[in-house]
Amino acid sequence: MTDDSLARSWLGALAPPPKVAPSSFAEQEIILPGSANAIPGPLRLAPYQRELVDSIADDETEIVVFMLSSQTGKSISIDAMLGYCIACDPGPMLHVSPTGARSEDFVRDRFDPLVAASPVLRSLVGTGQDTRKGSAGGTNSLSSKSFPGGQLNFASSHKPDELAARAIKYLLLDEVDRFALSAGIEGDPVGLAIKRTKTFEGRGRKVVIVSTPTSRNASRINQWYLKGDQRKFVVSCPDPDCGYRAPLVFDSLRWDEGKPSTAHLVCEECGVVITEAQRREMIEGGSWEPTTNGEPGVRSYHLNELASKFSTCLHVCDGHVTEKLYPPLILPSTSP
């Protein structure tokens, strides 16, 4: 008669491997190459990036929207999502760039070096389900990458035939505010690409729509952001007697006229001056909070450069970067 310990051992051997969070996988397995990153080596996500990356595996979410400023690490977040899906939850994938040239640049300059630097991805990309003797049995080109359980294709918003080729489980639309107004005669390339995910609707599909907004009145990313729950990255005032929680906003930035080197933040509630070191500590303790319900299954994020660990108040102030990218006319209130 089989004893209990042996039975438990059998059950343990047959159990599926534990499910790992995408952000944990990314920090454990992805290596950033020096050719495309200022800080090469094992990936370390910023506090606000972890939830962005983990959204690719959220069972209640089908559409994820990133309306992010430059210098917030959105490219690394996309890289981490792609790596997780390839290694942990494979399926048919499509990455769409504004143009064919941008698509090739993404593969050549970012994706291929990332794969080459990361052993887990390097062992998977370019292989297939069936491996012939002397062959990897897969594809590995500028337009397509195969891996066990799936394939990643790269497309341009200008070419409708690339957007309508096959059913897609994971769709990543990068810099949609720079997409073509119409994919040939077939209409909006975003809508056309999303149609390719219909087969996987309710079956684990993920549509990730990403961009820095570039237009004051006709921003695709802002329109998609408003469909979701409009999450803000909220931080706490460093003054223990205040503790006011709110997103970091451009209206809280102060500097002496003509002297951007004096740029600093102040708390909107108590007026205390926030140093650069305190701003970074606030970011470490921040969290994403939804500000509305939004459409079912649509999760949306807004982050400006003031909340970036890759930038400084001086950089934001010099040239009024945030004011240009996030005009208050098109955004809802920043109150949490």
The band of 7, judged by pLDDT with boundaries at 50, 70 and 90, is low
Residue 93 lies in a domain: yes
pLDDT over threshold 80, residue 65: yes
Segment 131-151, tens digit of pLDDT = 444 445 578 999 999 999 999
Residue 323 lies in a domain: no
β-partners of residue 96 are 155, 173
Is residue 152 within 8 Å of residue 144, measured between CB atoms?
Answer: yes
The band of 287, judged by pLDDT with boundaries at 50, 70 and 90, is very high
Residue 77 lies in a domain: yes
DSSP string, 55-119: GGG-TT-SEEEEEE-TTS-HHHHHHHHHHHHHHHS--EEEEEESSHHHHHHIIIIIIHHHHHH-H
Using DSSP bridges, classify how beta strands 144-147 and 150-156 pair: parallel, antiparallel or unpaired.
antiparallel
Using DSSP bridges, classify how beta strands 231-236 and 245-247 pair: parallel, antiparallel or unpaired.
antiparallel
pLDDT over threshold 90, residue 129: no
- CATH code for the domain of 189: 3.40.50.300
Q: Say how many residues make up the chain.
A: 336
**Strand arrangement of the beta sheet that strand 253-256 belongs to:** 253-256, 259-266, 273-274
Ranges of beta strands (E only) in the chain are 31-32, 41-42, 63-68, 92-97, 144-147, 150-156, 170-174, 206-211, 231-236, 245-247, 253-256, 259-266, 273-274, 287-289, 298-303
Residue 91 lies in a domain: yes
Residue 75's CB is within 10 A of a number of other CB atoms, namely 17
The total number of structural domains that make up the chain:
1
pLDDT over threshold 80, residue 259: no
Mean pLDDT of the chain: 85
Whole-structure pTM value: 0.85
Percent with pLDDT over 90 in the chain: 62
Residue 5 lies in a domain: no
Segment 272-286, tens digit of pLDDT = 999 888 999 999 999
Residue 287 lies in a domain: no
**Rounded mean pLDDT of 88-101?**
96
CA angle 53, 56, 60 (to 5 degrees): 125
**Rounded mean pLDDT of 56-71?**
94
Residue 90 lies in a domain: yes
Candidates 130, 127, 135, 95; CA nearest to 111 is 95
Q: Which domain holds residue 43?
A: 21-232+292-311
The band of 208, judged by pLDDT with boundaries at 50, 70 and 90, is very high
Structure tokens at 175: 């810099």
Residue 136's CB is within 10 A of a number of other CB atoms, namely 13
Residue 226 lies in a domain: yes
Is residue 165 within 8 Å of residue 158, measured between CB atoms?
Answer: no
Looking up tokens 């006319």 gives: 329
